[in-house]
C-alpha cells in the first residue's frame, strides 16, 4: 500500500510530468473522466483561433489547398496509425465511431456472402449493437448474435461472418486479448471489427501484429480532440480494394472535383470517406494527437497501470467491503479505468463531483473512474480514493441534491 509521500516521489520522477501543464485543468479538480471527454490541451484554443482568424477569415476557400484542409483525414489518420500499430495508408480520421462502424461491418459482411451472423459481445457499447442490428434489419441475409464476454471465442463458428468487439469494455474496463480473438475468428473463417474507443491513446495497440481486419475509435477520449472530435477508421491494406462503400459520398470518389455523374471509388483507403472533413474539429484533434505522440504510448501505459493500481489499493483499504471491483485485478486484462459497483453509484459520483473529483456513472450501478496518464499525477489517484472514502464515511451521498438525475450521467 503506497503512502502519499511515496506517490509524491513518483510524481517528481515522472517522465511524463511536463505534460500536465500543457492542459487547462481547473485548480482543485481531479479529472477522472478523460475516458469519456479528454481534457483540453492549452494549445487548442490558440490553434482554433488561428484556423478561424487566418485560415478561414483571411485565406477563405483557398485554405482547402493552401492550408491543407483537404488532407486532414489522411494526415490525422497517419498520426492515429502510429498509436494503433497500423500503417499510415490504413487509417482515416472522419465521421463518428458509430458511422465508421457501420462502414466496417458492411464491408466485412460483403466479404463473407455465404455467412449470416454478426457476432457481438452482449456487454459491448450499446451504440455498436444498435448499428449492427440496424444493418442486419436491412439485409435479409444477416442477423446479430449476442453472447457473453467469456463465451466469445467458443461462439465463433462457420456461420459467423464478422465479430464486432470493443477492445476495452466501456463499463468494466476489461481488456480483450486482441491477438487471440482475431486468431480465433480467422481460424473459423470470420473477420473482426475492433472498436478502440477506450484503448486508443491509453495502451499500446498492434492491429497489424494481430492481423486485424477493421477497427474504429473515438478522437475525444484519450486522444483529447475535444467534444465530438472526429473518429477514425482502420482497414487492413489487404481488404481495401474489395470495399464497395455503403456511404459513397463525393470525397471517396476517384476524382471528387471531376463532378462525375457516375460513382467511381478512389483507390485504397480514401474510398471510405463520405464528406468534407470538419475543419475546426480536425484542427483541435491534431493538437491532442501531437501531444500523445510526443509522450509515447509505452510510457503512458506504464503510468496508467500504476495509477489504476494505486486507486484500487487505496479504495480497498479505505472502503473495505463497500464496493465490488468491476475492473479486472490482473493488469494485463485492465484498460485505463477503474469501475466500482454500488447500488447508490449515481449519488456517490455526484457527491464526489461536489468535492472536485470528476468521474461518471453508468447504469445500473457502475461508478467509473478514467485515468488519463498524460495529465494525471500519482497523488491524484491517492487523493481521489481518499475523497471517495470521505464521501462514504460521512454518507454525503444521502443528500437529496445528489439524487436528481441529469440526462447525461
Ligand atoms: C466503445 C464506444 N463505441 C462507440 C461510441 C460512440 O461514439 P460516437 O458518438 O462517435 O458514435 C462510444 C462513445 O462513447 C464508445 O464508448
User: What pLDDT sits at residue 406?
Assistant: 86
User: What pLDDT sits at residue 265?
Assistant: 98
The model's pLDDT over 120-135, given as tens digits with 9 standing for 90+, comes to 999 999 999 999 999 9
In whole angstroms, what is the distance from residue 66 CA to residue 365 CA? 51
In whole angstroms, what is the distance from residue 94 CA to residue 402 CA? 38
User: What pLDDT sits at residue 404?
Assistant: 86
Please name the residues in contact with 78: beta carbons below 8 A apart, sequence gap of 6 or more. Answer: 88, 91
Q: What angle do CA 221, 223, 224 make, to 5 degrees?
A: 75
Q: What's CA 220's distance to the chain center, in Å?
A: 8
Farthest CA pair distance, the chain: 69
The model's pLDDT over 275-299, given as tens digits with 9 standing for 90+, comes to 999 999 999 999 999 999 999 999 9
Q: Check if CATH label 3.90.1150.10 holds for domain 4-31+297-402.
A: yes
**Residue ranges of E strands in 10-55:** 30-31
User: What pLDDT sits at residue 255?
Assistant: 98
Q: Exposed, middle or buried, 174 (CB in 10 Å: 0-12/13-18/19+)?
A: buried
Tell me the best of 33, 120, 127, 166 to mutate to test the pocket of ligand 1, counting ligand atoms within 8 Å of each CB and taking the most: 127
Contact 14, 302 (CB under 8 A): no
CATH of the domain spanning 48-294 = 3.40.640.10
Pocket around ligand 1 at a 6 A CB cut-off: 96-98, 125, 127-128, 166, 170, 195, 197-198, 218, 231
Instruction: Please tell me the total number of residues recorded for the chain in this structure.
Output: 409
DSSP code for 38: P
Q: Is the pLDDT of residue 168 over 80?
A: yes
pLDDT band at 409 (very low <50, low <70, confident <90, very high): confident
Cβ count within 10 A of residue 258:
11
- Average pLDDT of span 155-170: 97
Q: Counting runs of H as helices and runs of E as strands, what totals does the chain give?
A: 14, 13
The model's pLDDT over 365-380, given as tens digits with 9 standing for 90+, comes to 999 999 999 999 999 9
Please tell me the distance between residue 127's alpha carbon and the centre of ligand 1 in angstroms: 7
Tell me the best of 97, 168, 230 to mutate to test the pocket of ligand 1, counting ligand atoms within 8 Å of each CB and taking the most: 97
The model's pLDDT over 32-80, given as tens digits with 9 standing for 90+, comes to 999 999 999 999 999 999 999 999 999 999 999 999 999 999 999 999 9
Predicted model pTM:
0.97
Number of alpha carbons in the 13 Å side-chain half-sphere of residue 315: 25
Q: Is the pLDDT of residue 1 over 80?
A: no
Q: Do domains 4-31+297-402 and 48-294 have the same CATH topology?
A: no
Q: What percent of the chain has pLDDT over 70?
A: 100
Ligand 1: atom nearest CA of 166 is: 1
What does the block give as the cell for 9? 516521489
Please tell me the distance between residue 95's alpha carbon and the centre of ligand 1 in angstroms: 12
Ligand 1: atom nearest CA of 36 is: 14
Domain segments of the chain: what residues?
Answer: 4-31+297-402, 48-294
The model's pLDDT over 298-316, given as tens digits with 9 standing for 90+, comes to 999 999 999 999 999 999 9
Please tell me the distance between residue 321's alpha carbon and the centre of ligand 1 in angstroms: 32
Active site residues: 125, 195, 220-221, 368
In whole angstroms, what is the distance from residue 144 CA to residue 345 CA? 31
User: What pLDDT sits at residue 211?
Assistant: 98
If you write DSSP's letter for every residue of 236-278 in order, what string do you get? -HHHHTT---SS--GGGBSSGGG--SS--BPSGGGGG--S---
Amino acid at each position: 500500500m503506497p503512502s502519499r509521500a511515496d506517490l509524491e516521489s513518483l510524481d517528481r520522477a515522472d517522465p511524463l510530468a511536463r505534460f500536465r501543464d500543457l492542459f487547462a485543468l481547473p485548480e482543485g479538480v481531479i479529472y477522472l473522466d478523460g475516458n469519456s471527454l479528454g481534457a483540453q490541451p492549452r494549445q487548442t484554443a490558440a490553434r482554433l483561433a488561428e484556423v478561424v482568424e487566418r485560415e478561414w477569415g483571411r485565406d477563405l476557400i483557398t485554405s482547402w489547398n493552401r492550408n491543407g484542409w483537404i488532407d486532414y483525414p489522411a494526415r490525422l489518420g497517419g498520426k492515429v496509425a502510429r498509436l494503433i500499430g497500423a500503417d499510415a495508408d490504413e487509417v482515416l480520421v472522419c465521421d463518428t465511431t458509430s458511422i465508421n462502424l457501420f462502414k466496417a461491418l458492411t464491408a466485412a459482411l460483403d466479404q463473407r456472402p455465404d455467412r449470416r451472423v454478426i457476432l457481438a459481445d452482449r456487454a459491448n457499447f450499446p451504440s455498436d449493437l444498435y448499428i449492427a442490428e440496424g444493418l442486419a434489419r436491412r439485409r435479409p441475409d444477416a442477423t446479430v448474435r449476442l453472447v457473453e464476454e467469456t463465451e466469445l471465442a467458443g461462439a465463433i463458428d462457420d456461420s459467423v461472418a464478422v465479430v464486432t468487439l470493443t477492445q476495452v469494455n466501456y463499463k468494466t474496463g476489461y481488456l480483450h486479448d486482441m491477438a487471440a480473438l482475431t486468431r480465433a475468428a480467422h481460424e473459423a473463417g470470420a473477420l473482426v471489427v475492433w472498436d478502440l474507443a477506450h484503448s486508443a491513446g491509453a495502451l499500446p495497440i498492434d492491429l497489424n501484429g494481430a492481423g486485424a481486419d477493421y477497427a474504429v475509435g473515438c478522437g475525444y477520449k484519450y486522444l483529447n480532440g475535444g467534444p465530438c472530435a472526429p473518429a477514425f477508421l482502420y482497414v487492413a491494406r489487404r481488404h481495401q480494394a474489395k470495399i464497395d462503400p455503403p456511404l459513397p459520398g463525393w470525397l471517396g470518389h476517384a476524382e471528387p472535383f471531376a463532378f462525375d455523374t457516375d460513382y467511381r471509388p478512389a483507390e485504397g483507403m480514401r474510398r471510405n470517406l463520405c464528406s468534407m472533413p470538419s475543419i475546426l474539429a480536425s484542427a483541435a484533434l491534431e493538437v491532442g494527437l501531437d501531444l500523445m505522440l510526443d509522450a509515447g504510448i509505452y510510457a503512458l501505459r506504464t503510468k496508467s497501470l500504476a495509477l489504476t493500481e494505486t486507486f484500487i489499493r487505496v479504495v480497498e483499504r479505505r472502503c473495505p467491503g463497500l464496493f465490488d471491483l468491476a475492473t479486472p485485478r490482473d493488469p494485463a486484462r485492465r484498460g485505463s479505468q477503474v469501475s466500482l459497483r454500488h447500488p447508490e453509484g449515481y449519488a456517490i459520483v455526484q457527491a464526489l463531483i461536489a468535492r472536485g473529483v470528476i468521474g461518471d456513472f453508468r447504469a445500473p450501478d457502475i461508478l467509473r473512474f478514467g485515468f488519463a496518464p498524460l495529465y494525471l499525477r500519482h497523488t491524484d489517484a491517492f487523493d481521489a480514493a481518499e475523497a471517495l472514502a470521505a464521501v462514504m464515511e460521512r454518507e454525503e451521498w444521502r443528500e437529496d441534491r445528489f439524487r436528481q438525475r441529469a440526462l447525461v450521467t
